[in-house]
Amino acid sequence: MRAAAIPLAFLALALAACDSAPVVTFADASITLPDDPIELPAGPEPGRTAVLENCTACHSPSTMLQQPKVSREKWEGIARKMIEVYKAPVDPQAIGPIADYMVHVQASQPPR
């Protein structure tokens, strides 16, 4: 027990010799995000409407349109993941139309 007290006493002495950290004062800050000028392009309905109603609360049009081209099945999986993992309030009946719309839009985009 006494052997443990020596290192603790040394540690206490070393900490007592340390300077205290300077006081940090935080200032208020704000940023203004630019508007997302990109609109969702026309596409098959009810898919475009399903995307507008279920996806744009969290995802900007430009973000959605910059995703890698994937299959309809992959888009269905992405929509299910949003519902199951992230608890997105997406109507499960909208999964098919969302996938159809995203595949259509991606097919009509020029290659990057």
Tell me how many domains the chain contains: 1
Does the residue 107 lie in any domain?
yes
Looking up residue 93, the CATH number of its domain turns out to be 1.10.760.10
The pLDDT tens digits for 92-107 are: 999 999 999 999 999 9
Does the residue 21 lie in any domain?
no
pTM of the complete model: 0.67
Does the residue 36 lie in any domain?
no
Range of the domain at 60: 46-111
DSSP label at 70?
Answer: -
Does the residue 89 lie in any domain?
yes
Residue type present at position 19: D
The pLDDT tens digits for 63-100 are: 898 899 999 999 999 999 999 999 999 999 999 999 99
Structure token pair of residue 22: 């300077």
Structure token pair of residue 40: 């969702």
- Mean pLDDT over residues 47-65, rounded? 94
- Mean pLDDT over residues 7-12, rounded? 83
- Backbone angle region of 105, left / alpha / beta, with phi > 0 → left and psi within -120 to 50 → alpha: alpha
